[in-house]
Structure 1
Amino acid sequence: APDGAIYICDSRLYRIYRWDPETETMILLTSQHFQPLSLACDSQGRLLVVTEYQPVKNSVVNGIEELATDEFGGESGGGCYYPFFSYDRRIRVCAIDPKAPEASLELLPVVSLEQAKPDILYYPANQWRDSGDMMESFAKNDIACYLAPDGKTAIVHTPALARACGLTPLCPGKPAYLVDEYNKCIVQVQVGNDFALSNPTVWAERGEYGFAMTEDGDAYIPDCLLYIYVDGEKKDTIQLHDRPACVLEAGKNKEYLYITARRDVYALRLK
């Protein structure tokens, strides 16, 4: 978050926690009815929450049954997971003010990327494609997004959100690093001015759910162990008590790497 806070979701228990690096305390921020899947923040400090929304059976909105409409027009995200997921669930993205999480809950609209023109677009950090065709998938551009209240931040509208454990910000003109779960590797892509992704290359032959590259250029890849890469080459490994999943460089001076694992959260001091 812009104020240095770290937000962590526990999908199993439907909870979101807030970690304060200065006081080293964690509090339960909110517990909602809908399962949180991944998190991001907009430029004004709101928390953007991708959720697994399960409508009440036969529920109707504006005269239309909620589960009657396929929000992705039959697109599966390249895998069997989303068709299974969409049988009785839908993806919904909400914004909340951490100071009043329940009172401020706001459903984000789906708008075209051309209309939204965000400064930053968040993209699923990890994808599983049954045909192992993630490298080829970037030939099809994303056209819609969930626009945050600040009008500058958005999350891409894609069925891959149903499986993603984290979100990666796309910044035009800068490379992005994504996890190909099927082929267990990190893919580097170039981000165009319209957020189109191109020129995919395998950056590292490791990968599971998360990836983080620090301001110094060191990369951290959780994959059973925590692998440290420098200039695309493996430099070191760290073994944790639990299998690591997602990683994030954070803190006022980017001095920590936060690591979520199966049962614990770790902070690795970088500076």
Structure 2
Amino acid sequence: IYRWDPETETMILLTSQHFQPLSLACDSQGRLLVVTEYQPVKNSVVNGIEELVTDEFGGESGGGCYYPFFSYDRRIRVCAIDPKAPEASLELLPVVSLEQAKPDILYYPANQWRDSGDMMESFAKNDIACYLAPDGKTAIVHTPALARACGLTPLCPGKPAYLVDEYNKCIVQVQVGNDFALSNPTVWAERGEYGFAMTEDGDAYIPDCLLYIYVDGEKKDTIQLHDRPACVLEAGKNKEYLYITARRDVYALRLK
């Protein structure tokens, strides 16, 4: 697992553990939260049960064909890493009920591939479990959609969230309730592939072949990169950068 250093424009190794990371987040104490795929050794048994027999999500498929294919020989795991001592601090996060965890922030898959075409209807069913970070305030939702998610979106009660319907290629705005229930889904933009970012100033960035810039819900401009962009994140000490992952490179666009 690597971290991008904008000052030196290099990737810094955090840990050499054998992960296949899917998406990343941070807790309130600066730990890196890593959603990763885990491939059990064939016929391995834990507590008397073969690992690949265990159903992580009680028959939920994530609304499409991807997770059933994924779960044939893999499982989802979420771990926490302290960047100051990555190898020594590595720990798997437990799955607990949302009612018990009561997190301040819940991370949700930024994009979903639901080839059953039911993403707008899927929000009617509330999520009930999460992976709780060591800070006790941050969690990642427990859902098969993590298997394909390229990024994570923080859900904050009382504020809207923006998610990518990857199958229908659009941005969906949802309202976040006090219990993290999602409601009132509407199509916010008829663009979308893997990621979405809205800055503190309200400008939105949508990667979809080009990098589309939206202001007040309307397309304002486009940026063409050397590679196809995938995920975007506003970051930096003063939120001065937009980081962009692409097919072969990582880009940093200065916002201010």
Identity of aligned residues (%): 100
Give the deviation of 1:99 after TM superposition. Answer: 1.2
Give the SS at the match of 1:253: coil
Tell me how far 1:20 sits from its aligned partner: 2.9
Deviation at 1:19, TM superposition (A): 2.4
CA contact (8 A) 1:34 1:54 kept: no
1:198 aligns with 2:183: yes
**How far did residue 111 of structure 1 move?**
0.2
Question: Residues of 1 paired with 2:45 and 2:112: CA distance?
Answer: 31
**8 Å contact kept, 2:61–2:144:** yes
Hey, which bits of structure 1, 4+ residues long, moved more than 2 A? Answer: 19-26
Q: Secondary structure at the match of 2:126?
A: coil
Separation in 1 of the partners of 2:97 and 2:207? 33
- Whether 1:67 aligns to 2:52 is yes
Measure how far apart 1:17 and its partner are.
Answer: 1.2
TM-score in terms of structure 2 length: 0.98
8 Å Cα contact 1:187/1:202 also seen in 2: yes
Decide whether the 8 Å contact of 1:178 with 1:188 is kept in 2: yes
Give CA-to-partner distance per residue, 1:160-183, whole Å, 9 cap, x none. Answer: 000000000000000000000111
Q: Offset at 1:27?
A: 1.1
The number of equivalent residue pairs is 256
* Secondary structure of the structure 1 residue equivalent to 2:24: strand
Question: What displacement does 1:22 show?
Answer: 4.2
Match of 1:220 in 2: 205
1:23 shift after superposition = 4.7
> What's the secondary structure of 2:89's corresponding residue?
coil
95-104 or 108-117: bigger deviation:
95-104
Equivalent position SS for 1:149: coil
Higher mean alpha-carbon deviation, 96-105 vs 23-32, is at: 23-32
1:238 shift after superposition: 0.2
Deviation at 1:131, TM superposition (A): 1.7
**1:107 CA displacement:** 0.6
C-alpha deviations, 1:101-120, integer Å up to 9, x for none? 11111010000000000000
CA contact (8 A) 2:173 2:185 kept: yes
Q: Is the 8 A contact 1:67 1:88 kept in 2?
A: yes
Alignment match of 2:230 (pick from 220, 239, 245): 245
Deviations 1:52-108 (A, max 9, x none): 000000111111111111010110000111011111110000001111111111010
**Structure 1 length normalisation: TM-score?**
0.93
Q: Is the contact made by 1:227 and 1:236 (CA closer than 8 Å) also made in structure 2?
A: yes
Q: Distance in 1 between matches of 2:251 and 2:19?
A: 26
Shift of 1:33: 1.8
SS of match in other structure, 1:50: strand
SS in 2 for 1:103: helix
* CA shift for structure 1 position 25: 4.1
Deviations 1:168-213 (A, max 9, x none): 0000000000000111000000000000000000000000000000
Q: Tell me the C-alpha RMSD between the 2 structures.
A: 0.9
Counterparts of 1:182 and 1:25 in 2: how far apart (Å)? Answer: 33
Cα distance, 1:24 vs structure 2: 4.2
SS at match of 1:115: helix
CA distance in 2, matches of 1:261, 1:27: 18
User: Separation in 2 of the partners of 1:220 and 1:195?
Assistant: 24
- Cα displacement (A) at 1:31: 2.7
| Conservation of the 8 A alpha-carbon contact between 2:6 and 2:252 | no
Superposition deviation, residue 133 in structure 1: 1.2
Contact persistence 2:213–2:222 (CA under 8 A) = yes
Q: Where does the alignment leave 5 or more consecutive residues of structure 2 unmatched?
A: none
Distance in 2 of aligned mates of 1:39 and 1:246 = 11
